[in-house]
Structure 1
Amino acid sequence: MDRFDALRTLLAAVDGGSLSAASRRLGMPLPTVSRKISELEAHLGTQLLIRTSRKLVLTEAGQGFVPAARRVLGELEEAERAAAGEYRTPSGELLVTASLRFGKAYLTPVVLAFLAEYPQVNVRVIAADYVVDLIENHVDVAVRVGRLPDSGLVARRIGETGWVVCASPAYLEQRGTPQTPEDLAAHDCIAFEGLQPARHWPFGVGADARTIAIKPRFAGNTADAVIAAAVADMGVVRLLSYQAAEAISHGQLIPLLADQSPDPMPVHLVHPPAQLVPLKLRAFLDFVAPRLKTALRDLGG
């Protein structure tokens, strides 16, 4: 039995929630997945997983073993990268994630410039308007907008981005321009369901801070969808400044209630902790961070 291979199979099943998920992730036949885990359990002399029809449940022994297995495989991967030279010269592949709009407008151009400087590094950019689990999906670094939970990830702040309430010129001509947040009660609104709270918009800071309930005429879970609705004269939308920048610069959307904006959201580069940070990741962070910081500053937060 290849114990390292068995550990990888076990973690794929635990992370995926089923043997079938591990089979798909590893490109391995389902009976082989089941056999490898059974062989590992036989080797240890204890059951690690309880297999039900819907999910896998860790036994008490499994709850203690899985974190140790992660550490062992992590140290093995570190040793392999060191032997392959990743700690001597930037090389290898990086997986990077950001939101759709940020990835397209800001991250991708910087990544392309990075690739020109570091020909031995390859980068995959995954853009999505939802939070990608860095550990489960083996992501090297992510751009995160908003206040970070206490997750154990390593974070480097690169700036902040403000909130913008806006609408199309045609909509405002037809329905009038709201002068206060409370005026939104008389307007059609557009909710970005990917941000929470989606139907209570905060305004003001300090003693003036308050939330306003809105009734969406349209709601979507991507920035592109809600921007398209706003440009199509469907109502008032609330976006982060980097999301609205292009439409505003083209005159498709007009900012509103600028003096009532809430505190801006911090922007960080985050990555999983590591005893030794590979040169490819260190080089990427040192290259990308100041350039994204400049882009956010030029955007005006």
Structure 2
Amino acid sequence: MDRFDALSAFVAVADQRGFAAAARKLGMSPPAVTRAVAALERHLGVTLFHRSTRAVSLTDEGAAFLDRARRIMSDLREAEQIVMGGRSAPRGRLYVTAPVMFGRLHVLPAIGALLAAHDGLSARMMLIDRNVRIVEEGIDVAVRIGPLADSALRVMSIGSVRQTIVASPAYLAAHGVPATPADLAGHRCIVGSGIRIGAAWRFGGKAESTVEVAPRLAVNTIDGTIAAAEAGVGVANVLSYQAAEAVAAGRLVRLLEDHAPPPVPVSLLYDAGRAAMPAVRLFLEAMRERARQGSWD
């Protein structure tokens, strides 16, 4: 039994929740996938899947083994890429995750430039406003905005962003300009997603004060939050880069800048072993260079 093929078959069946679907994904025949998983079960001495005519599900042993199997496969692919990439130009696939708007505005241009310069390189971007498991998902680099939890991953700081309270000129003309954070209690407020989620808005150099706002509108995307603020629905609490274009164009006005809490760090997270991959090294340097050219506003 080829151990790597067996692990690939096991992970595919777990992901696809079926042997036939896993076979299609792997380009194998269903009997071949079934035999590979059965051989792995015999080798381990455990049953990895509950099988029925209607469904396939992991046993407790299978669930415990799945994360380890993913890590083994990821490590092997990484070793292959390091060896292959070490003697050639960047090649293979670069996998990056980032918050949706930051990824669109600042990560996509960096990746686009890398793809234009290196024909053997491809990329996958997961733009999502929540943290995902980097190692388990096989991600090369994650862009994170906000404080970081302790982990074994390497961290590269590439600057910071600021809290920005914004509203449209039309809204301010109709409802007045808040002079202090406490004034927001009398304003129509828009609450959104990401790290600015919720109705408790923090202010002050050490975030020592919190204002509970009354949401007039709740939106689950930053684009929607910005659009609502531009339309005059109310006051929004976003990050500097998210409102930068609208502020520069005069569609939004920054408020209460003297009361902003400390800046929020922007970081790149990656596994130490992946730093040797040419594509990862180039991406890290590209993002660091973009940070050198100016703030993320």
The TM-score, its normalising length taken from structure 2, stands at 0.85
Identify the residue that residue 103 of structure 1 maps to in structure 2: 103
Pairwise CA RMSD: 3.0
Identify the residue that residue 46 of structure 1 maps to in structure 2: 46
Percent identity, please: 39
Distance 1:284 1:212, change over 3 A: same
> Take 1:260 and 1:166, find their aligned partners in 2: how far apart are those partners?
13
The C-alpha deviation readout for 1:145-165, integer Å capped at 9, x for no partner, is: 111122432211100000000
Residue 276 of structure 2 aligns to a residue whose secondary structure is coil
> Does the CA-based 8 Å contact 2:47-2:59 persist in structure 1?
no
The C-alpha deviation readout for 1:216-274, integer Å capped at 9, x for no partner, is: 11111211000000001000000000001001001011111111101111001112332
Residue 2 of structure 1 deviates from its aligned partner by 3.2
> Take 1:219 and 1:54, find their aligned partners in 2: how far apart are those partners?
39
> Does the CA-based 8 Å contact 2:19-2:34 persist in structure 1?
no
How many residues in Structure 1 have an aligned counterpart in Structure 2?
A: 292
Identify the residue that residue 4 of structure 2 maps to in structure 1: 4
**1:76-155 equivalence runs, <5 A:** 76-83=76-83, 85-89=84-88, 90-155=90-155
**1:206-285 equivalence runs, <5 A:** 206=206, 209-274=208-273, 277-285=276-284
> Does the CA-based 8 Å contact 1:178-1:256 persist in structure 2?
yes
> Take 1:12 and 1:223, find their aligned partners in 2: how far apart are those partners?
34
> Does the CA-based 8 Å contact 1:97-1:139 persist in structure 2?
yes
> Does the CA-based 8 Å contact 2:141-2:270 persist in structure 1?
yes
Residue 204 of structure 1 deviates from its aligned partner by 0.7
**1:157 maps to 2:157:** yes
> Take 2:163 and 2:179, find their aligned partners in 1: how far apart are those partners?
17
Residue 178 of structure 2 aligns to a residue whose secondary structure is coil
User: 228-237 vs 150-159, which deviates more?
Assistant: 150-159
Q: 1:27 aligns with which of 18, 25, 28?
A: 25
**1:165-204 equivalence runs, <5 A:** 165-195=165-195, 197-204=197-204
Distance 1:31 1:135, change over 3 A: farther
User: Structure 2 unaligned runs (5+)?
Assistant: none
The C-alpha deviation readout for 1:23-66, integer Å capped at 9, x for no partner, is: 4697258786565433311232223456797953432x863x55
Distance 1:32 1:241, change over 3 A: farther
Residue 129 of structure 1 deviates from its aligned partner by 2.7
> Take 2:154 and 2:282, find their aligned partners in 1: how far apart are those partners?
16
Q: What amino acid is the match of 1:283?
A: L
**1:286 maps to 2:285:** yes
> Does the CA-based 8 Å contact 1:47-1:62 persist in structure 2?
no
> Does the CA-based 8 Å contact 1:143-1:268 persist in structure 2?
yes
User: Structure 1 unaligned runs (5+)?
Assistant: none
Residue 176 of structure 1 deviates from its aligned partner by 0.8
Distance 1:130 1:51, change over 3 A: farther
Distance 1:197 1:221, change over 3 A: closer
> Take 2:279 and 2:154, find their aligned partners in 1: how far apart are those partners?
16
Residue 47 of structure 2 aligns to a residue whose secondary structure is coil
Q: 1:56 aligns with which of 55, 58, 69?
A: 58
Residue 86 of structure 2 aligns to a residue whose secondary structure is coil
Distance 1:77 1:204, change over 3 A: same
> Take 1:21 and 1:188, find their aligned partners in 2: how far apart are those partners?
53
> Does the CA-based 8 Å contact 1:78-1:276 persist in structure 2?
no
> Take 2:194 and 2:51, find their aligned partners in 1: how far apart are those partners?
34
> Take 2:245 and 2:283, find their aligned partners in 1: how far apart are those partners?
26
> Does the CA-based 8 Å contact 1:106-1:295 persist in structure 2?
no
